[in-house]
Amino acid sequence: MKTLLQGIDRVLISQEALQTRVAELAEQISADYKGLNPLLVCVLKGGYIFLADLSRALSINHAVDFMAISSYGNGSVSSGVVRILKDLDRDISGRNVLLVEDIIDTGNTIAYIMENLRTRQPASVRVCTLLSKPSRREVFLQADYVGFEIPNDFVIGYGLDYAEAYRNLPYIGVLKPEVYS
């Protein structure tokens, strides 16, 4: 645990607060999608822990699928370049799709994915993001479900990484700027 804590400035969202909010989101999503058997699309890799907790907290039938997108490389500044590294396994035509994201920062990644998925004739596409940094938005994008709005700090943990590290932290932490600058 010692090495993991290196570089962390402070805890922004505790493990308890995350679990409470995930349960609330799951309750809302379960009510909104009752009888619709939605497809939860997890955007790898950052969304994997959120998806796992959200999926287990849902009280309705649903399926999961995964997409991997390149956005940042190893840095902490959005390149604006989005590329599909792994596409969905199944056709989504007629399905109610719920995109599950770790964080919406500039919005470029999710805007690209939504545009791409909409060409495949799904019944609906909505977005559920654990975190949102509204002050950083470059494209207009209103997520349907937002766990927490956060300030413009680089955060890690609960699936979110810096250069592939820190994903396994059970809380959302703020990285010391000297780690990435």
Q: Which residues are catalytic?
A: 105
35: β partners: none
For residues 98 and 70, the answer to whether their CB atoms sit within 8 Å is: no
Binding test (CB under 6 A) with ligand IMP, winner from 49, 62, 67, 108 = 108
Interface residue with ligand IMP among 29, 42, 49, 104 (CB under 6 A) is 104
- Binding pattern to ligand IMP, positions 64-103, x when CB under 6 A? -------xx-----x----------------------xxx
User: How far apart are CB 49 and Mg ion at their closest, in Å?
Assistant: 12
Q: Pick one of 12, 13, 42, 46: the residue that binds Mg ion (CB under 5 A).
A: 46
Question: Which CB sits closer to Mg ion, 38 or 159?
Answer: 159
- Return the residues of window 16-55 that contact ligand IMP according to CB under 6 A: 46
Q: Residues touching ligand IMP: how many (CB under 6 A)?
A: 17
| String marking each residue 149-168 x if it binds ligand IMP according to CB under 6 A | -----xxx---x--------
CB-nearer residue toward Mg ion: 2 or 164: 164
Q: DSSP per residue over the chain, as a string? A: -HHHHTTEEEEEE-HHHHHHHHHHHHHHHHHHTTTS--EEEEEETTTHHHHHHHHHH--S--EEEEEEEE--TTSSS--S--EEEE--SS--TT-EEEEEEEEESSSHHHHHHHHHHHTT--SEEEEEEEEE-GGG-SS----SEEEEE--S--EEBTTB-BTTBSTT-SSEEEEPHHHH-
How many residues bind Mg ion (CB under 5 A)? The answer is 1
Q: Is 132 in the site for ligand IMP (CB under 6 A)?
A: no
Chosen residue from 109, 117, 125, 169 binding ligand IMP by CB under 6 A: 109
